[in-house]
C-alpha cells in the first residue's frame, strides 16, 4: 500500500493520541490492522513514540493526571511493540496485537496465552513455554526451547513456517499443529494439513489426525493416529490421558501448578494414569489420586510430594 509520508505521519500521530486514552478493544483491533497493512506504518508510529519518550512528558488536558496518563500510555506502547517487561514477567501482548519480525516470547504464568504472528498466523502458548520468533529471513523461523504451543499457520509457499526444537525440526506451509517439547521427547500433533518432521538424518510426514512421538535419547520416532480433541484439551483447561506414565502426567500438571509436584518414590514414575485433569482444579486431582491409588500426597511449603503409602506407613 502506497501512502504519502505526510499522510502516514498524520495517521501515526492520530493513533498516538488515540492510544494515550483508554483505548477500546475495537480501536486496538483497528490499530493492529493499520500496522499490519504496511511495515512502514509501525515504524512511523514507533518514531513518534520515541520522540515522545525523548521529551519525557505529555501535555496536560482536561485536568488529567499526567503520571496516570503516562503510565497508561507506556503500558499500551509496551504491548503494542510486543516487548517483554523483564526476562520472566510473562507475555507482553494480548491476543490479536501486532508482533515484530524478531521477538522472544516467554510466559512463566500458569495460564495459556495467545498472540497473532506478523504473517497472520496465530500461536497459543501453554504455561512455562519459551518461543523465539524470527520472520526476517527466507523462512518464518520459530525456536520452541521448552514447553508446548499450538500453531495455526497462514499459507505462504514462498516462505515456509519452520519450528525448531531440541533434536527435531517441523516444517509446514498452511496447517495447524501442536508441539510439546520436554527433556526426553518431542511430540507433534497435526490437526489440519500436513507437516514434515526431520532430525537431520531422517524425515517423516505427519498428516492431520496423527501424531509423531520423537524420542530424543534414541533418535527414534513413532507415528500413530490420535484423537486431537484429547491431545489438545490443554487449550480448554483440561489434560486428558490414556495409560500415560505418571511421570509424564506430573510434568504436564506442573506447568499449571503454583507449587511444584514431585514424585518422591521412583517406583511411582512408571505407574500409568488414565483420566482427566482440570488445570484450574489441581488440588481436586491430587485428592483424587490419594483416594484412588496407594499414594500419599504431602505438602511441604512450595512442594507437593507423592509417596507410596506403604513406605510412609512403615517409616
pLDDT in tens, 135-193: 988 899 999 978 999 999 998 888 999 999 988 999 997 799 999 998 888 999 999 99
**Residue 303, Cα to own-chain centre: how many angstroms?**
25
How many C-beta neighbours within 10 Å does residue 5 have?
Answer: 9
Residue 64 has pLDDT above 60, yes or no: no
CA distance 41 to 83: 18
DSSP strand pairing (102-107 vs 122-125) = unpaired
Q: What is the mean pLDDT of residues 54-83?
A: 38
Query: What is the number of residues in the chain?
Result: 315
Residue 91: per-residue pLDDT = 37
Largest CA distance in the chain: 81
- Kindly state the cell numbers that stand for 30: 483497528
Mean pLDDT of the chain: 78
CATH number listed for the domain at residues 102-230: 2.60.120.1440
Residue ranges covered by each domain of the chain: 5-80, 102-230, 237-313
Closest CA to 58 of 23, 17, 14: 17
Burial code (b: 16+ CB inside 10 Å, e: under 16) for 249-270 equals bbbbbbbbbeeebebbbeebee
Residues facing residue 277 across a β-bridge: 239
Residue 51 has pLDDT above 70, yes or no: no
Gyration radius (Cα) of the chain, Å: 23
CATH number listed for the domain at residues 237-313: 3.55.50.30
Across 55-59, 135-139, 148-152, 279-283, least confident range: 55-59
Taking phi over 0 as left and psi of -120 to 50 as alpha, with beta for the rest, 257 belongs to: beta
DSSP strand pairing (102-107 vs 129-134) = antiparallel
Amino acid at each position: 500500500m502506497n501512502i504519502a509520508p505526510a499522510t502516514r505521519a498524520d495517521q501515526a500521530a492520530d493513533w498516538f493520541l488515540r492510544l494515550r486514552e483508554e483505548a477500546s478493544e475495537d480501536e486496538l483491533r483497528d490499530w493492529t490492522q493499520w500496522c499490519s497493512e504496511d511495515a512502514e506504518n509501525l515504524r512511523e508510529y514507533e518514531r513518534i513514540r520515541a520522540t515522545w519518550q525523548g521529551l519525557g512528558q505529555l501535555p496536560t488536558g482536561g485536568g488529567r493526571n499526567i503520571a496516570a496518563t503516562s503510565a497508561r500510555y507506556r503500558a499500551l506502547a509496551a504491548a503494542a511493540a510486543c516487548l517483554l517487561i523483564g526476562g520472566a514477567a510473562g507475555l507482553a501482548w494480548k491476543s490479536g496485537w501486532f508482533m515484530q519480525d524478531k521477538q522472544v516470547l516467554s510466559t512463566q504464568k500458569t495460564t495459556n496465552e495467545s498472540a497473532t504472528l506478523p504473517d497472520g498466523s496465530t500461536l497459543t502458548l501453554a504455561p512455562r513455554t519459551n518461543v523465539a520468533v524470527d520472520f526476517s529471513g527466507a523462512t518464518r523461523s520459530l525456536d520452541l526451547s521448552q514447553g508446548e504451543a499450538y500453531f495455526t499457520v497462514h499459507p505462504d509457499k514462498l516462505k515456509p513456517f519452520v519450528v525448531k526444537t531440541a533434536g527435531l525440526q517441523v516444517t509446514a506451509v498452511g496447517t495447524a499443529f501442536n508441539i510439546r517439547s520436554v527433556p526426553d521427547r518431542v511430540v507433534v500433533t497435526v490437526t489440519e494439513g500436513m507437516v514434515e518432521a526431520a532430525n537431520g538424518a531422517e524425515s517423516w510426514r505427519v498428516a492431520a489426525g496423527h501424531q509423531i512421538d520423537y524420542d530424543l535419547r534414541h533418535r527414534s520416532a513413532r507415528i500413530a493416529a490420535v484423537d486431537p480433541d484429547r491431545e489438545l484439551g490443554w487449550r480448554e483447561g483440561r489434560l486428558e490421558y490414556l495409560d500415560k506414565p505418571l511421570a509424564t502426567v506430573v510434568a504436564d500438571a506442573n506447568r499449571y501448578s503454583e507449587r511444584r509436584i514431585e514424585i518422591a518414590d521412583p517406583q511411582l514414575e512408571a505407574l500409568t494414569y488414565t483420566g482427566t485433569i482440570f488445570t484450574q482444579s489441581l488440588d481436586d486431582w491430587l485428592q483424587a489420586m490419594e483416594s484412588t491409588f496407594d499414594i500419599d500426597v504431602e505438602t511441604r511449603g512450595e512442594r507437593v510430594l507423592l509417596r507410596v503409602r506403604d513406605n510412609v506407613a512403615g517409616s
